């Protein structure tokens, strides 16, 4: 669908500036419908934007069509559960919610530890639809929130492009961002995560701020403060905004572009934005206490100094006197600022950069100090293939766009250049942040495309103009001779321009094909349902996760506590409706380390830990029968590392043989007898998984397991799903004392 | 020798600033007075906080930030209304005041919510 409509759009974009008369005469046979050029242009723009809006929405619907309308992955299940709670109980209950169903026995203050933007947005859409008497289920609203906001992002991208460059760049930016895989990856239908609305809020904030800087109007600055508030309510990545905007202001100050408009825009946005942001409980007082936000405050004070100096200079009209004044003020301001910062940091009042953001500046920090952050696959550094996969032609259009931006430096282009460069640096540090860089890359590439196409088509048009004026105006011999020489080289230039335009058209159509293919193949799988090809090419669906969670929901007592690795916590609480010990929020490292320790100990020690946590059921994920490689045995070393980080009795070398992780006969004895091994491979030794292989052949690791004769003393098997992916065990109560 | 020149410079500075400031229009002087009042109130609040401690912190923050906020917004209004600023030549003072009013409204609504 994307491939077919894209070529017509690029074609129409390329030709709309060349032949308006042609359009008029051949496509509008009715003389009464003769529109002026400006009206035709407006009609074209609106129709293009409308098509882009629809395209952005439908390109994200692959998984809904192939599987069903369900929530994907892990984190979205928590968001879904909280949205459900919000719509059922109302806003006050939601804001003050203390949840005792997760992190047993600690509980979690959900109201104070989440970013409510996404849930409130979905709930508002749901209530609006209900008000209009469309009685949809909240799950449908949640599933389709992300594509809806992706469409809105394309509109904002259009206006932003218009602000930075011109309407052509805006249109190209809207098209590019509608199908860019870097954005689609986190905003498919079903991916009900914070980034779905956060990217919209990010781009909106930036657009409104640049508009405020360009116009100097307080109203636009107020708008950008509201955009910033929406961003803070939606995602923890708002720290990027509160550091990029002051950095941009600083760069403008350094390059001598200080102006009253900048003062108005930044000050209004900072004060109002900061106040609004502090209304979110999770953010709290961080804007005045955290080291990550001090840059904004520093630039705020610097702006006051600049304004004051500017005013004094204007009043004095005498340079010598002003110089002395300048010296005194600047030195005293720097002294005061430095002392305040030093005292604040040294006394600990200003907290240092948190681990999550510090690891962006120093990528090796997390691996050594915080294994939980290092273990998340999205936090790994980006490979070149990921860049190519997610950006395609935008990768080389980006430097071209940078060139155009530097040719025409305004306040707005400086902003987009800074946004592009900083976000690309962070995208190189962490895969997940490719998403943040996508709007900048799309905008700058759009500038390159639009400027190039504009130059080429103007080359095409000059020949007609020159020949017309050459025939009508005979005056001026020098003018005539220059026109004649221009005329002689024209045919060559015109052919070249047509060839280049065809090249641009080809590139953009390849981009569209690539994006559609990537969306279809890579980014449309709900990780909770797995699919594979059978022997005859038919599609086999593995729905084991949901099978296990519904078994839990229907066959366990309502106050049962489930112990599993933290990946599955959100899904168990949302679908199984049972209390879990640890979940994806990972706010308490010691609690997770306790679970990790239990999984890596022998059964007796693990039983003591499980009794102390009141565990009734243990859930493990096992991929040996299906060849599913994201199972708990493959994650086991992370459990050991995290557990060993808090409890030194767990030593990683105990589980390795010559530094190698093995599960076959040559594995270490601790590995062969730990709880995770026993729970995963219980009764597996009798099972033949593949034709021609011995029983107990683990298809995910590709080896025959070492310990086939497993006896469980304190646990008994409660349920194993049809493809052995999820296995649930019941913890037996202690035997009676004799 | 250096001391007397710097003190003389300071005196010259002071006098020329004073004479230049007396020439500004009255409406701008009123706005300046308002800004000084807001900053002065903020300083009083900070002094009070240093005496009695900063609990509850949200009330302290909302008080100080409301003073700073109104001061900053008043300065923005002054910039937009000042006839000598060429960038804002074609901005009607009514529009500037309406923007100022709207921003102050939002500011004070948030402050009231934040006071606790």
Tell me the pLDDT tens digit for each residue of A674-722.
Answer: 999 999 999 998 888 888 888 888 888 888 888 888 889 999 999 999 9
> To 5 degrees, how large is the angle CA A160–CA A162–CA A166?
145
Q: ipTM for the complex?
A: 0.93
Residue of A593 and A706 predicted with greater confidence: A593
Mean of pLDDT values over A116-137: 95
Residue A395 falls within a domain, yes or no?
A: no
Taking 50 as the threshold, does the pLDDT of residue A334 lie above it? yes
Longest Cα pair distance anywhere in chain A, in angstroms?
Answer: 121
| Cβ-based contacts of B80 with chain A (< 8 Å) | 216, 218, 264
Answer yes or no: is pLDDT of A496 > 90.
Answer: no
Confidence band, pLDDT 50/70/90 cuts, at residue A379: confident
Span A624-653, pLDDT tens digits: 888 888 889 999 999 999 998 899 999 888
Give the mean pLDDT of A321-336: 79
In the structure encoding, which two tokens stand for residue A508, read together?
């953009």
Is residue A637 domain-resident? Answer: yes
How far apart are the C-alpha atoms of A439 and A199, rounded to whole Å?
8
Partner A contacted by B68 (CB < 8 A): yes
pLDDT over 70 percentage in chain A? 90
Q: What is d(CA A609, CA A592) in angstroms, rounded to the nearest whole number?
A: 12
A469 contacts: CB under 8 Å, gap ≥ 6: A483
Confidence (pLDDT) at B5: 63
pTM, full prediction: 0.87
Q: Is residue A259 part of a domain?
A: no
pLDDT in tens, A463-479: 555 554 444 444 444 44
| Predicted confidence (pLDDT) at residue A442 exceeds the cutoff of 90 | yes
Tell me how far apart the alpha carbons of residues A541 and A533 are, in angstroms, rounded to a whole number.
9
Decide if pLDDT at B17 tops 50. Answer: yes
pLDDT of residue A412: 94
pLDDT for position A629: 87
Backbone angles phi, psi at A59, to 5 degrees: -65, -20
Q: Do A218 and B61 touch (CB under 8 A)?
A: no
CA atoms within 13 A on the CB side of A423: 32
Rounded Cα distance between A439 and A375, Å, is 27
Q: What is the mean pLDDT of residues A207-229?
A: 94
Q: Is residue A681, in this structure, part of any structural domain at all?
A: yes
Q: Into how many domains does chain A fold?
A: 1
B106: which chain A residues are within 8 Å (Cβ-Cβ)? 222, 225, 272
pLDDT at residue A11 in the model: 44
pLDDT digits (tens, 9 = 90+) for A412-435: 999 999 999 999 999 988 888 999
Range of the domain at A630: 541-731
pLDDT tens sequence across A380-399: 888 899 999 999 999 999 99
| Per-residue pLDDT band at B6 (split at 50, 70, 90) | low
Residue A1's pLDDT band (cuts 50, 70, 90)? very low
d(CA A646, CA A643): 6
A693 in any annotated domain: yes
Max CA separation in chain B (angstroms): 57
**Which residues on chain B are in Cβ contact (under 8 Å) with A307?**
75
Tokens of residue A344, six digits: 């604040």
More confident residue, A306 or A147: A147
- When mean pLDDT is compared across A160-169, A182-191, A684-693, the lowest value belongs to A684-693
CB-based contact (8 Å) between B100 and chain A? yes
What average pLDDT score do residues A351-362 get? 75
Predicted pLDDT at A132 = 96
Task: Provide φ and ψ at B93, rounded to 5°.
Answer: -60, -25
Q: What is the least distance, in Å, from the CA of A285 to any CA of chain B? A: 8
Give the residue among A564, A647, A664, A563 at the shortest CA–CA distance from A601: A647
Q: How many Å from the N-terminal Cα to the C-terminal Cα in chain A?
A: 73
CA distances from A206 to A186, A244, A256, A412, A419 (A): 20, 10, 22, 10, 9
CATH number of the structural domain spanning residue A712? 3.40.50.12610
pLDDT given at position A378? 75
In a domain, A243, yes or no: no
Three-class SS state of B7: helix
Residue of chain B with shortest Cα separation from A318: B16
Cβ within 8 Å of residue A34, ≥6 positions away:
A24, A28
List the one residue out of A63, A67, A227 whose CA is nearest residue A152: A227
CA-wise closest residue to B96 among A268, A91, A236 = A268
Q: Which pLDDT score, from 0 to 100, does residue A471 have?
A: 46
**Residues on chain A bordering chain B, Cβ-to-Cβ distance under 8 angstroms:** 216-219, 221-222, 225, 259-261, 263-264, 267-268, 271-272, 274-276, 278-279, 285, 288, 307, 312, 315-318, 321, 324-325
> Is residue B71 within 8 Å of residue A267, measured between CB atoms?
no
pLDDT at position A296 over 80: yes
What is d(CA B9, CA A627) in angstroms, rounded to the nearest whole number? 83
Q: Picking from A131-140, A603-612, A688-697, which range would have the lowest pLDDT averaged per residue?
A: A688-697
Residue A329 maps to a domain: no
Q: Which of A678, A581, A664, A691 is nearest to A632 (CA)?
A: A678
B75 to chain A: which residues are within 8 Å by CB? Answer: 263, 267, 307
Average pLDDT, chain A: 86
Please give the pLDDT value at position A2: 39
Minimum-distance CB partner of A222 among B6, B85, B106:
B106
Q: Specify the pLDDT at position A495.
A: 86
B68-71 long-range contacts (CB < 8 A, ≥24 apart) are: B68/A271, B68/B38, B68/B39, B68/B42, B69/A271, B69/A272, B69/A275, B69/B107, B69/B111, B70/B34, B70/B38, B70/B104, B70/B107, B71/B35, B71/B38, B71/B39, B71/B42
- A267 → closest Cβ in B6, B13, B76: B76
CA dist B63 and A468 (Å) reads 70
Whether the predicted pLDDT of A49 surpasses 70: yes
Q: What's the pLDDT score for residue A149?
A: 96
Secondary structure class of A535 (helix, strand, coil)? coil
Q: For residue A736, what is the DSSP state?
A: P
Nearest chain B Cα distance for residue A321, angstroms: 6
How far apart are the C-alpha atoms of A132 and A66, rounded to whole Å? 30
Q: Among A79-83, A189-193, A204-208, A457-461, where is mean pLDDT lowest? A: A457-461
- Cβ neighbour number for residue B49 with a 10 Å cutoff: 17
């Amino acid at each position: 669908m994307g491939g077919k409509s894209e070529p017509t759009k690029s074609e129409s974009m390329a030709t709309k500036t060349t032949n308006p008369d042609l359009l008029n005469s051949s496509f509008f046979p009715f003389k009464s419908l003769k529109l002026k050029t400006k009206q035709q242009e407006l009609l074209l723009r609106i129709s293009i934007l409308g098509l882009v809006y629809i395209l952005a929405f439908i390109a994200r619907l692959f998984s809904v069509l192939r599987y069903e309308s369900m929530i994907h992955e892990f984190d979205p299940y928590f968001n879904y559960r909280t949205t459900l709670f919000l719509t059922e109980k109302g806003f006050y209950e939601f804001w003050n919610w203390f949840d005792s169903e997760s992190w047993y026995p600690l509980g979690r203050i959900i109201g104070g530890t989440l970013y409510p933007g996404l849930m409130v947005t979905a709930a508002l859409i749901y209530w609006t639809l209900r008000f209009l008497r469309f009685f949809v289920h909240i799950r449908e609203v949640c599933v389709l929130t992300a594509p809806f906001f992706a469409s809105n992002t394309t509109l904002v991208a259009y206006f932003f492009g218009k602000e930075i460059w011109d309407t052509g760049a805006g249109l190209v930016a809207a098209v590019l961002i509608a199908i860019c895989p870097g954005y689609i990856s986190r905003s498919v239908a079903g991916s009900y995560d914070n980034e779905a609305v956060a990217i919209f809020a990010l781009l909106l904030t930036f657009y409104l701020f640049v508009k405020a800087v360009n116009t100097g109007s307080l109203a636009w600055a107020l708008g950008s403060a509201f955009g910033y508030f929406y961003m803070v309510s939606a995602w923890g990545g708002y720290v990027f905004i509160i550091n990029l905007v002051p950095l941009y202001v600083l760069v403008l100050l350094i390059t001598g572009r200080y102006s009253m408009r900048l003062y108005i825009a930044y000050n209004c946005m900072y004060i109002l934005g900061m106040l609004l942001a502090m209304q979110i409980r999770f953010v709290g007082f961080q804007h005045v206490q955290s080291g990550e936000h001090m840059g904004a405050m520093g630039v705020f004070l610097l702006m006051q100094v600049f304004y004051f100096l500017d005013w004094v200079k204007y009043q004095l009209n005498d340079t010598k006197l002003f110089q002395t004044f300048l010296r005194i003020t600047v030195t005293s301001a720097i002294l005061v600022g430095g002392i305040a910062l030093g005292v604040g940091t040294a006394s600990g009042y200003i907290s240092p950069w948190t681990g999550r953001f510090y690891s962006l500046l120093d990528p090796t920090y997390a691996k050594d100090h915080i294994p939980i952050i290092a273990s998340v696959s999205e936090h790994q550094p980006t490979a070149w293939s990921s860049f190519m996969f997610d950006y395609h032609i935008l990768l080389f259009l980006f430097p071209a766009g940078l060139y155009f931006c530097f040719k025409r430096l305004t306040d707005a282009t400086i902003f987009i250049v800074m946004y592009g460069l900083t976000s690309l640096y962070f995208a190189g540090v962490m895969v997940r942040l490719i998403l943040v860089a996508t709007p900048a890359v799309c905008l700058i590439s759009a500038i390159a495309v639009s400027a190039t196409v504009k130059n080429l088509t103007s080359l095409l048009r000059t020949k007609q103009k020159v020949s017309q004026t050459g025939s009508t105006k005979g005056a001026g011999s020098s003018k005539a001779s220059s026109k004649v020489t221009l005329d002689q080289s024209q045919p060559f230039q015109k052919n070249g321009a047509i060839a280049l335009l065809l090249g641009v058209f080809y590139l953009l159509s390849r981009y569209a094909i690539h994006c559609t293919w990537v969306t279809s193949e890579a980014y449309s799988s709900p990780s909770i349902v797995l699919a594979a090809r059978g022997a005859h090419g038919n599609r086999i669906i593995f729905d084991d996760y949901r099978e296990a969670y519904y078994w839990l929901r229907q066959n366990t007592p309502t106050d049962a506590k489930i112990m599993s690795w933290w990946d599955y916590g959100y899904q168990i609480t949302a679908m199984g409706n049972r209390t879990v010990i640890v979940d994806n929020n990972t706010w308490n490292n010691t609690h997770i380390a306790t679970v990790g320790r239990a999984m890596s100990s022998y059964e007796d020690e693990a039983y003591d830990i499980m009794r102390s946590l009141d565990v009734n059921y243990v859930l493990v994920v096992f991929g040996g029968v299906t060849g599913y490689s994201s199972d708990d045995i493959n994650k086991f070393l992370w459990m050991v590392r995290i557990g060993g980080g808090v409890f030194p009795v767990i030593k990683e070398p105990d589980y390795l043989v010559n530094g190698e992780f093995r599960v076959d006969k040559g594995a270490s004895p601790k590995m062969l007898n730990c709880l995770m091994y026993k729970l995963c491979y219980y009764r597996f030794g009798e099972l033949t998984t593949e034709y021609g292989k011995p029983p107990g052949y683990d298809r995910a690791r590709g080896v025959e397991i070492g310990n086939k004769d497993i006896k469980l003393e304190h646990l008994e098997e409660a349920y194993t799903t049809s493809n052995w992916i999820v296995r649930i065990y019941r913890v037996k109560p202690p035997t009676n004392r004799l | 020798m250096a001391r007397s020149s710097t003190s003389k410079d300071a005196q010259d500075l002071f006098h020329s600033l004073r004479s230049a400031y007396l020439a500004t229009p009255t409406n701008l002087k009123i706005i300046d007075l308002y800004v000084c009042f807001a900053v002065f109130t903020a300083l009083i609040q900070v002094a009070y906080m240093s005496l009695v401690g900063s609990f509850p912190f949200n009330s302290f923050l909302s008080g100080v930030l409301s003073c700073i906020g109104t001061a900053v917004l008043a300065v923005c209004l002054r910039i937009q209304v000042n006839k000598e600023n060429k960038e804002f030549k074609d901005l009607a003072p009514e529009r500037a005041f309406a923007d100022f009013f709207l921003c102050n409204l939002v500011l004070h609504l948030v402050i009231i919510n934040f006071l606790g």
